[in-house]
Amino acid sequence: MQWQRRLMALLLMSGLFAEAEASPASATASWHLRVVTEQGDTLVDAAAPEGSRWCIQWQHSVEHFTVLDCYRNLDGTMQLERSHQPDFAAGLGHIYGRGEQVSDGEGGYWINAINEPVANNRYVLRVGSTAVNHRVVWPSNEHTTVSLSERAAGQRVTIELSAS
């Protein structure tokens, strides 16, 4: 658990959770991060103004450590910005030419500057069990976290950035 506190401290120090200033373009569109089940139930509907950042966080199903995929709203496009992995476990690792791998100083690594747009501003995720605990984390006064696994374990959900 101590490494998780260190990870959150690293995130805070890195500026990943810095609130974004609203730009003139964002004044014309009200962007939202939404997570919706196949049945149409909304699990998350949160303001995501231009420049905002959020992560999908989960426990690796084999190695049981925390993994983060971090996104941002860049000019109305959901973009995979960076990823954190504490190990080169099954299914994880850096792909040459896709971002820059750097040490996190704790034995794991960040893949920074991935900066890949997510096709159509949405993707589908099969939510893991509560042991995997897929969750959305983003900045607020309390660094709010919403567990998708508590509400939709085993279900397909769509994670999307959309204008209202």
pLDDT tens-digit profile of 20-54? 333 444 456 799 999 999 999 999 999 999 999 99
pLDDT tens-digit profile of 82-121? 998 876 654 445 556 667 888 788 878 888 999 999 999 9
Average pLDDT, the chain: 80
Question: What is the value of pTM for the model shown?
Answer: 0.76
Neighbours of 96 (CB within 10 A): 6
Q: Which two tokens stand for residue 75?
A: 């000019």
Residues of the chain with pLDDT > 70: what percent? 72
Element (H, E) at 89: none
Spatial CB neighbours of 10, under 8 Å, sequence gap ≥ 6: 104, 105, 106
Neighbours of 3 (CB within 10 A): 14
> How far, in Å, are 14, 33, 73, 162 from residue 78 at the CA level?
20, 9, 5, 9
Spatial CB neighbours of 164, under 8 Å, sequence gap ≥ 6: 29, 30, 31, 32
